Amino acid sequence: MTGTTLALVVFGLMLGAIFLRMPVAVAMGAAGFAGSWAVLGSPAATLSQLKTLSYDTFASYSLSVVPLFLLMGQFAARSGMSAALFSTAADWLGHRRGGLAMAAVGACAGFGAISGSSLATASTMGKVALPEMRQRGYSDALATGVLAAGGTLGILIPPSVILVIYAVLTQQNIAKMFVAALVPGLLAAGGYMLTVALYARLVPGAAGTAPRVPLARRLRGLVAVWPVVAIFALVMGGIAADWDWSKAGVQALFTPTEGAAVGALATGLYGVLGGGLTWRGFGAALRETAATTAMIFFILLGAQIFGAFLALTQTPQALADWVQGLGIGPYWVLAAMLLTYLVFGCIMDSLSMILLTIPVFFPIVLGLDLGLSPEEVAIWFGILALIAVEVGLITPPVGLNLFILNGLAPDIPVGRTYRGVLPFVASDLVRVGLLLAFPVLSLGLVRLVF
């Protein structure tokens, strides 16, 4: 059996184990260990390899950004920021047809800027916005569909934990990845709002309205959300450590990791001073951050073990050579990869999808003739992959965000949520097509800034 054949067999067995609900980290780690054992012919040699692999994986300084962003999101969720964001957006948009649903999208984008997690954004904003929309006469389908879609902004609007992991895996600059995600993130929010507007007009009775709020109250609401803007500016300033500020005579204040620490500290201080973050909430935030970080790192270790097995078999390079030999256009190859993410979204979460596929897909992408530099290809593909993963989170029947909303409102049949989210899936597919056809949408700001 050749190395590539062995890799494909092990990969299929691993997918079967994941489909049967074995934990993703265990499935990837066990498959990688068994495959390495088969290649090396000795369990001792495989264990010797793992001895250094675990340390090399977790000793990465860049990974220290992950728990800090998670902690920032936990503090934000417990300090009342989500309610302030939705209330302010609702004051400005609620009187329009579908305005509360648009406000939910705007609030999800704002919360995503200080959270970095899709599931956290969907869950937190769902608790705040879903009861209000249902009270105002919004259909269950639109209310749950827009919140499931809006939750995906948590991993697209920087800072994003998934983008950090991708940058570490592919050895890319975290700051450039975050900057590249800004325009696609704004396109996503704008596309969702446009979808709401069309939905409200094409489906009679799907969206209610709220009374128009006086201008003075709307302006006071803007004052209430200034901490979100300030914290976002702090974090983005922190990750700008590699920007060329020399032309403006300005020096960067801190590195990306330090920027994440400053953001977590600022969010925690806001929560304490505002009274929303109690000692009990502080302890719960620390425990939740530790548990989520452990889960992410465990999955990362499993992916590294599986990646080491693939490297032993030289499968990624063999697949890259095979794809190049097919003679098909590079954009068809990219489209097939993005379609794979939509399928994988039915059986696993976003982090697992990235960790499982990047070791295989990335060498193939770098070998495609796309008319861009290798670094630009890496950044562009990272944004495309992230958006495809995001679509997988809301694609019926097994999108994880759909089940988050169903858990918040178990009286709403999940079929209604499926119907409600489909227009937003269509919006996402249009956006993927635009970003695929026009790489400048992802790379333009990076070229301008760096």
> Residue 7: which of 277, 311, 324 has the closest Cα?
311
What does the alpha-carbon distance between residue 281 and residue 371 come to, in Å, rounded to a whole number? 50
- Give yes or no for residue 137 having a pLDDT over 90: no
**In Å, what is the CA distance from 325 to each residue of 42, 58, 329?**
35, 37, 11
What average pLDDT does this structure show over 100-116?
87
SS percent in the chain: helix, strand, coil, step 5: 80, 0, 20
What letter would DSSP give residue 368?
Answer: S
The confidence score (pLDDT) of residue 187 equals 93
What average pLDDT does this structure show over 78-90?
84
What does the alpha-carbon distance between residue 74 and residue 65 come to, in Å, rounded to a whole number? 14
> Residue 210: which of 149, 281, 134 has the closest Cα?
134
The confidence score (pLDDT) of residue 225 equals 82
**In Å, what is the CA distance from 259 to each residue of 81, 167, 232, 432, 449?**
20, 16, 10, 30, 18
What average pLDDT does this structure show over 354-380?
88
Q: Over the chain, what is the mean pLDDT?
A: 84
The share of the chain scoring above pLDDT 70, in percent, equals: 94
> Residue 5: which of 39, 29, 37, 33 has the closest Cα?
39
Q: Torsions phi, psi of 253, nearest 5?
A: -85, -35
Q: Which residue has the higher pLDDT, 410 or 210?
A: 410
What letter would DSSP give residue 61?
Answer: G
> Residue 208: which of 128, 136, 108, 131 has the closest Cα?
136
Residue 161 is which amino acid? V
The confidence score (pLDDT) of residue 254 equals 66
Q: What is the pLDDT of residues 310-336, one digit of tens each?
A: 888 887 777 777 777 777 888 888 888
The confidence score (pLDDT) of residue 215 equals 81
Q: Torsions phi, psi of 81, nearest 5?
A: -65, -40
What letter would DSSP give residue 181?
Answer: H
Q: Which residue has the tokens 């489906």?
A: 203
CA angle, corner 18, sides to 14 and 21, nearest 5? 145
Contact between 309 and 360 (Cβ < 8 Å): no
pTM above 0.85, yes or no: no
Most confident of 126-130, 194-198, 404-408: 194-198
> Residue 447: which of 233, 185, 179 has the closest Cα?
179
The confidence score (pLDDT) of residue 253 equals 60
What average pLDDT does this structure show over 406-430?
88
Residue 392 DSSP SS3 = helix
Q: Which residue has the higher pLDDT, 70 or 240?
A: 70
- Give yes or no for residue 246 having a pLDDT over 50: no
Q: Is the dihedral of CA 205, 207, 208, 209 positive or negative?
A: negative
Quickly state the pLDDT bin for 398 (edges 50, 70, 90): low
- Give yes or no for residue 99 having a pLDDT over 70: yes
Quickly state the pLDDT bin for 243 (edges 50, 70, 90): very low
What average pLDDT does this structure show over 330-344?
84
The confidence score (pLDDT) of residue 250 equals 44
The confidence score (pLDDT) of residue 249 equals 43
From the CA atom positions of the chain, what is the Rg in Å? 22
What average pLDDT does this structure show over 70-83?
84
> Residue 240: which of 186, 168, 159 has the closest Cα?
159
Retrieve residue 298's tokens: 């465990």
Contact between 424 and 394 (Cβ < 8 Å): yes
Retrieve residue 211's tokens: 């009374």
What letter would DSSP give residue 285?
Answer: H
CB atoms within 10 A of CB 317: 15
The confidence score (pLDDT) of residue 247 equals 43
What does the alpha-carbon distance between residue 354 and residue 357 come to, in Å, rounded to a whole number? 5
What average pLDDT does this structure show over 12-23?
82
**In Å, what is the CA distance from 387 to each residue of 83, 381, 383, 391, 435?**
26, 10, 6, 6, 10
Contact between 77 and 203 (Cβ < 8 Å): no
Reply yes or no: is the peptide bond before residue 363 cis, omega within 30 of 0.
Answer: no
The confidence score (pLDDT) of residue 193 equals 94
CA angle, corner 216, sides to 211 and 220, nearest 5? 100
**With left for phi above 0 and alpha for psi between -120 and 50, is residue 171 left, alpha or beta?**
left
H or E element, residue 40:
helix 24-40
Q: Which residue has the tokens 């969907």?
A: 122
Burial class (CB in 10 A: 0-12, 13-18, 19+), 44: exposed
